[in-house]
Amino acid sequence: MQTNQREFLGRAEDFADQFLRYSKNYLPHVARLCLVSTFLEDGLRMWWQWHEQREYMDISWGCGYFLATVFVLVNLVGQLGGVFMVLFRKKVEVACGLLLFIVVLQTIAYQILWDMQFLFRNLALVGGLALVLAESKKEARSIFAGVPSLGENKPKTYLMLGGRILLVFMFLTLVRFEFSIMQIFQIVIGGLLMALVAVGYKTKLSAFLLVLWLTVFNVYVNAWWSIPSYKPMRDFLKYDFFQTLSVIGGLLMLISLGPGGVSMDEHKKQW
């Protein structure tokens, strides 16, 4: 029985490695695009719904026309600017800091801090940004080819660890405590895969399976395109869709980069 399980895991890992080999040239680009997709969609929404967003902030906070306009403008420019910088690899550290500021600003402005589901999704989004930042650290060290390394890249290592752990929060938002076979299956299998990602064991295989699962889940559950434009549910589903897509981007980045130094996979190499 154990031999069959090992053979199955071995074949699954071989398939994941083969997928990585074939996609290694474009996987990081796809990962970054997916990861910043929620910022891109929200930035464009600030442009398309300029008046609605400004009125919402004015009514919610009573901050007045000027401050409401500044809030919408900061979100629009900050998100679209940050997305551009990440996609075109321009000052990635500044871009990640800018996008992180937008996440914190929206968490406070939209009072997400007291809504656990939205808060956990934002934490998962921060985890994805940490992985983007870790990738930029990797590239910065590879500029001087052939120069001996002075030691472990600790900032990158800790960014990878933090990114892995924060991505787990996405799974917590998908848990529904319903006594159905399908829901129990999702909790057990999804929870196991997320735990493996968090500790960095069989990381690339676990992240690959989570990408497949979340992609199917996202297209099936958050099908915002099937809802008429005049219904409010369309905007809610669109928000969930792009938030989940960003976490998928984080997992793809994890597949591309690996788990980092603080992981069971890395320690296994030293055994």
pLDDT digits (tens, 9 = 90+) for 92-112: 999 999 999 999 998 888 877
What does the angle CA 42 – CA 51 – CA 61 come to, to the nearest 5 degrees?
85
User: Over the chain, what is the mean pLDDT?
Assistant: 83
Q: Is residue 3 part of a domain?
A: no
Question: Mean pLDDT, to the nearest integer, of 197-217?
Answer: 88
Cα separation, 78 vs 59, in Å, equals 23
Domain extent for 30: 23-143+154-268
The answer to whether residue 141 scores a pLDDT higher than 50 is no
Q: Would 17 be classed as within a structural domain?
A: no
Residue 256 has pLDDT above 90, yes or no: no
**In this structure, is residue 13 part of a structural domain?**
no
Rounded to whole angstroms, the Cα distance separating 184 from 190 reads: 10
**Contact status, residue 238 vs residue 224, Cβ threshold 8 Å:** yes
Q: Does 1 fall in a domain?
A: no
Q: How confident is the model at residue 75 (pLDDT cuts 50, 70, 90)?
A: very high
Domain count across the chain? 1
- Residue 68 belongs to some domain of the structure: yes
| pLDDT score of 211 | 92
**Residue 212 lies inside a defined structural domain of this protein:** yes
Q: What is the b/e burial string over 161-174, where b = at least 16 CB atoms within 10 angstroms of the residue's CB?
A: bbbbbbbbbbbbbb
Decide if 166 is inside a domain: yes
Q: What is the pLDDT of residue 148?
A: 39
pTM: 0.83
Average the pLDDT over each of 29-38, 57-66, 131-140, 156-165 and give the range with the smallest value.
131-140
148 lies in a domain? no
